[in-house]
């Protein structure tokens, strides 16, 4: 009896695996970028709020100076 070997398209399976690996690495890179940006977001928002508050205080001080002095 002759031995029958199952033939598979190995190259296409390897290509699919490589594509999946590339997609996974891309998602991991995007996730780390988002995580890095989210660490800085509260600081940037706080700095913007602080600058806006200082601007409002300075405008109020100028207005008070014009009204009373």
Phi-psi region of 61 (alpha: psi -120 to 50; beta: other; left: phi over 0): alpha
C-alpha span between 63 and 25 (Å, rounded):
57
What is the model's pTM?
A: 0.52
What is the tens place of the pLDDT at every residue in 19-47? 999 999 999 999 999 999 898 889 999 99
User: Radius of gyration over alpha carbons of the chain, in Å?
Assistant: 31
C-alpha span between 19 and 13 (Å, rounded):
10
Question: Which one, of 39, 38, 57, 60, lies nearest residue 49 by Cα?
Answer: 57
The residue extents of the domains of the chain are 15-69
What's the whole-number mean pLDDT along residues 45-53?
A: 96
Name the DSSP letter for residue 32: H
């Amino acid at each position: 009896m002759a031995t029958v070997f199952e033939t598979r398209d190995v190259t296409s399976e390897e290509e699919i695996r490589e594509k999946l690996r590339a997609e996974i690495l891309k998602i991991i890179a995007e996730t780390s970028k988002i995580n890095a940006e989210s660490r800085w977001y509260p600081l940037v928002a706080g700095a913007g709020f602080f600058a806006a508050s200082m601007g409002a205080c300075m405008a109020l001080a100028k207005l008070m100076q014009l009204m009373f002095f």
